[in-house]
A and B are shown apart, each in its own frame.
Chain A
């Protein structure tokens, strides 16, 4: 294919190289080039948060990042949240609190929630709701999601 660019980046701690067109988003690259389909597409214009990843320490919507912009950066995705030892407390809390129904928004919520708790381990309900306002969920009404994040805080402190 003409005009492919070689990009060297780090994804979930692993040095990763890929080829992409400049017009391809990071979301497209993750899903279609690298086969990492855990990051979901809900709107492709930054308004639903389903494609949330961490880029150099900040959460971003990967649909609004070009794949070529990942050059030299560190990307973390849902695939990197659990460790070989087991699920992350945020993931466990989502399971135990029934904080997902259809599950399509769940990877985005988990990546965003983990990023919040890494930064603010004592975030209260209001802060959690503010932080997660960029992640749409249509199934749960957010109640059990907010409770799960509060529960994850307790789990992470235990």
Chain B
């Protein structure tokens, strides 16, 4: 059986090879230091008291008994945050933003989700801190919660914020509402487009809240020194974002906040927001000791960001020859307790795979009494794809057109303008669709009752943004590469490979190190599928800087002009004198005596990000007695632009697929009527185990991104997009009934069959 295929157009020396990652040995021996592993002299342990109610007013809060408990060193509440002592006048236009950010960290007058922090204690041990939490007295007035967008959008809905007004297509409304914003994209003439259609389908979809499910809980250790220097050690995708958030919420100078990113145990978008860091910092300031704060698994589920539950409506028209003529889409996404769902991204991704001449997309960002949503791998795109791709699947059935053929007829390609405006540069969707059609999976017979095959396409923008890299040349010809991108899945290797390729030296001669925010220039999060692209760009630029300086040094040593020196494949040579030739290593040895060491540096913000597409094929079998779905075979095809490290590209594809399988089949936040999450453990949240899955076959397509020297696009997010619709369609074909709500757990499939 096929497993992993790489369709390469260009071969390099280091790029594209499957090297062992630089941090690998530490991670297979248990020596790698993650956030929870931090040990400091005098370290206190802290715990957070959290709201037991989804929506409540805090009538009184008394921490005095906890403060007196033996072994307790500090207790903090929202009163300790700077926001408590700042006036609306002082903050001006910044008022609501800071209010939301501060209240999210520690609630003031109201708690807006079960798990909302109310107070925190630092003590000798975790157990003593826990004992002290039980001594804090909070009196709540319980309010009715609004748990779904449908509930929250009703005119008489319980309001989370009395000062939140809808941003209605850019204009502020005058009545408080749970709808934070309504945005819209429109292109062409939608009504006319539907008139041109031979088939028009309109369907409604829902998806549940799901969690990123990283195995490492959030953690943060802080030490606030007497001179105001604040040190933070934590697990984050974005140490610079944490620095900004902490400085903002604590009103502290950025230069006095140093964030050291420890090894990170997964994030998928969920480890960007600073949940614990400001609390740990306040506790440290109060106690004068370093303070470690860890979330339990239940706290992770209840108080970090899930991906939004959604309510979506899609109306799609197509002509008999299989061309999409018009689309009208409604998306309402749960923001959680504060505004900021990825509905905008969902709207922009919804139709990105297709050239749709007439389209209208309305998106609503709606606050509900759930934890504030956070990014989760291609935020917004999987839900939107579930809705749009499901309708396309039904249209293909009605028109009796092969679903890959239909997609090929409508596929976005270079020059197509997206509904929200941008025009595609060179992209690889067509190549992915063709690779899927040519794969033996797609032509393999699928026999037997209650079996079905589904296909779907998916899109993610991929991002650029800021990165910085420094490369210092050592006397023995090796180099040290300093970067600000947290390594969440092998990026030290993919960055080092690009530096080695550019310098023309061996992969093993580049030692990459991820450093704190004092030690490298601003680097955006490890997320957005940007790291190998943008920090790779920074590594290439830094390496080019090294090369320029090496050429200058060689010219100086040879008493030649820099124009006479060339640098090819790690060898410096005089263009006209064959006697004058030095390897990188030979020149490195001479640097210290000829003017000093060389460090190449870069700060980049590359704009040439390459959009990513994937096409998935899945076979399922349904147990007609129980509704249980088994994944029989799965193939993921994706355009990586250039796979710098094919194994880790495959790993991103396989990991994304399996998160998508979990989302499609079993994962969901299950709430009581009162808004209590009932399944806040790995036992009942039901992420896939090794026993629930087959091998995940991959095909890496390489349509080089013209905006990157090696053609990199970014790969991390696309693979979670197609599984939702592909699996839903496969189940629908297996049972002869459509799946319009996810997860399609056994009970739901059983209901759909009856």
Judge A-B direct contact (beta carbons within 8 Å). Answer: yes
CA distance A45 to B215 in the complex (A): 13
B29 touches A136 (CB 8 A): no
Using A37-B30, A98-B651, A144-B647 as known contacts, say yes or no to A136 and B215 having CB atoms under 8 A apart.
yes
Q: Using A102-B265, A103-B263, A143-B693 as known contacts, list a sample of 11 further A-B pairs with CB atoms less than 8 Å apart, ordered by residue number in A.
A: A38-B31, A94-B24, A98-B21, A98-B490, A101-B266, A101-B488, A102-B214, A133-B691, A138-B687, A141-B655, A143-B654
CA distance A77 to B490 in the complex (A): 24
- Interface 0/1 of A84-114, CB less than 8 Å to B: 0001000100111110111111110010000
Of B217, B297, B647, B690, the residue contacting A142 (CB under 8 A) is B690
CA distance A32 to B489 in the complex (A): 27
Closest A-B pairs by Cβ, 3 of them? A38-B30, A104-B265, A141-B658
- Name 28 A/B residue pairs within 8 A (Cβ), A-sorted: A1-B124, A28-B126, A31-B37, A42-B215, A44-B296, A45-B683, A50-B215, A77-B30, A78-B30, A98-B18, A98-B650, A102-B215, A103-B23, A103-B27, A104-B265, A105-B265, A129-B691, A133-B689, A133-B691, A134-B689, A135-B690, A139-B266, A139-B489, A141-B657, A142-B689, A142-B693, A143-B696, A145-B690
A38, A77, A94 — which one has the most chain B CB atoms within 10 A of its CB? A38
Smallest distance from the beta carbon of A42 to chain B beta carbons, Å? 4
| Interface residue total, chain A, C-beta cutoff 8 A | 60
CA distance A96 to B37 in the complex (A): 26
CA distance A39 to B37 in the complex (A): 10
- Interface 0/1 of B206-238, CB less than 8 Å to A: 000000111111000000000000000000000
B296 touches A138 (CB 8 A): no
- Interface 0/1 of B135-163, CB less than 8 Å to A: 00000000000000000000000000000
CA distance A91 to B29 in the complex (A): 8
Judged by a CB distance under 8 angstroms, whether B659 is at the interface is yes
CA distance A144 to B264 in the complex (A): 20
Of B297, B647, B683, B693, the residue contacting A98 (CB under 8 A) is B647
- Interface 0/1 of B687-717, CB less than 8 Å to A: 1111101011000000000000000000000
B266 touches A102 (CB 8 A): yes
Judged by a CB distance under 8 angstroms, whether B240 is at the interface is no
B683 touches A37 (CB 8 A): no
CA distance A28 to B30 in the complex (A): 16
A41 touches B658 (CB 8 A): no
A41 touches B691 (CB 8 A): no
Smallest distance from the beta carbon of B487 to chain A beta carbons, Å? 9
CA distance A87 to B24 in the complex (A): 11
| Chain B contacts with A in 387-410, Cβ cutoff 8 A | none
Judged by a CB distance under 8 angstroms, whether A156 is at the interface is no
| Residues of chain A contacted by B29 (CB below 8 angstroms) | 38, 78-79, 81-82, 87, 91
| Residues of chain B contacted by A141 (CB below 8 angstroms) | 651, 654-659, 688, 693, 696
Smallest distance from the beta carbon of A68 to chain B beta carbons, Å? 15
Judged by a CB distance under 8 angstroms, whether B557 is at the interface is no
Query: What residue in chain B is nearest A104 (Cβ atoms)?
Result: B265
| Chain B contacts with A in 317-354, Cβ cutoff 8 A | none
Of B20, B33, B687, B693, the residue contacting A136 (CB under 8 A) is B687
CA distance A110 to B654 in the complex (A): 20
Judged by a CB distance under 8 angstroms, whether B558 is at the interface is no
| Interface size grouping (class) on chain B | 35 or more
| Residues of chain B contacted by A137 (CB below 8 angstroms) | 215, 690
Query: What residue in chain B is nearest A111 (Cβ atoms)?
Result: B30
Q: Which A residues lie at the B interface, using CB under 8 A? A: 1, 21, 23-24, 28, 31, 35-45, 47-48, 50, 77-79, 81-82, 87, 91, 94-98, 100-107, 110, 128-130, 132-147
| Residues of chain A contacted by B27 (CB below 8 angstroms) | 100, 103, 106
Of A41, A77, A79, A101, the residue contacting B655 (CB under 8 A) is A101
Smallest distance from the beta carbon of B421 to chain A beta carbons, Å? 34
Using A87-B25, A138-B215, A141-B696 as known contacts, say yes or no to A103 and B32 having CB atoms under 8 A apart.
yes
A102 touches B488 (CB 8 A): yes
CA distance A48 to B683 in the complex (A): 9
| Residues of chain B contacted by A35 (CB below 8 angstroms) | 39
A41 touches B654 (CB 8 A): no
Using A41-B217, A141-B657, A142-B658 as known contacts, say yes or no to A100 and B24 having CB atoms under 8 A apart.
yes
Judged by a CB distance under 8 angstroms, whether B185 is at the interface is no
Q: Which B residues lie at the A interface, using CB under 8 A? A: 18, 20-21, 23-25, 27-34, 36-37, 39, 124-127, 212-217, 263-268, 294, 296-297, 488-490, 645, 647-648, 650-652, 654-659, 681-683, 687-691, 693, 695-696
A101 touches B297 (CB 8 A): no
Query: What residue in chain A is nearest B649 (Cβ atoms)?
Result: A98
Smallest distance from the beta carbon of B675 to chain A beta carbons, Å? 23
CA distance A35 to B266 in the complex (A): 23
Smallest distance from the beta carbon of A99 to chain B beta carbons, Å? 9
| Residues of chain B contacted by A37 (CB below 8 angstroms) | 30, 33-34, 36-37, 39
CA distance A141 to B691 in the complex (A): 11
CA distance A45 to B652 in the complex (A): 28
A146 touches B30 (CB 8 A): no
Query: What residue in chain B is nearest A82 (Cβ atoms)?
Result: B29
Query: What residue in chain A is nearest B689 (Cβ atoms)?
Result: A133
Of A105, A129, A132, A142, the residue contacting B215 (CB under 8 A) is A105
| Residues of chain A contacted by B28 (CB below 8 angstroms) | 87, 91, 94-95, 100, 103, 106-107, 110
Smallest distance from the beta carbon of A24 to chain B beta carbons, Å? 8
CA distance A95 to B19 in the complex (A): 9
CA distance A1 to B682 in the complex (A): 33
Smallest distance from the beta carbon of A45 to chain B beta carbons, Å? 6
Smallest distance from the beta carbon of A75 to chain B beta carbons, Å? 14
A98 touches B648 (CB 8 A): yes
| Residues of chain A contacted by B266 (CB below 8 angstroms) | 101-102, 104, 138-139
CA distance A11 to B11 in the complex (A): 49
Query: What residue in chain B is nearest A45 (Cβ atoms)?
Result: B681
Query: What residue in chain B is nearest A144 (Cβ atoms)?
Result: B651
| Residues of chain A contacted by B34 (CB below 8 angstroms) | 37, 40, 104
CA distance A20 to B657 in the complex (A): 43
Smallest distance from the beta carbon of B635 to chain A beta carbons, Å? 12
CA distance A135 to B125 in the complex (A): 28
B30, B127, B645 — which one has the most chain A CB atoms within 10 A of its CB? B30
B296 touches A132 (CB 8 A): no
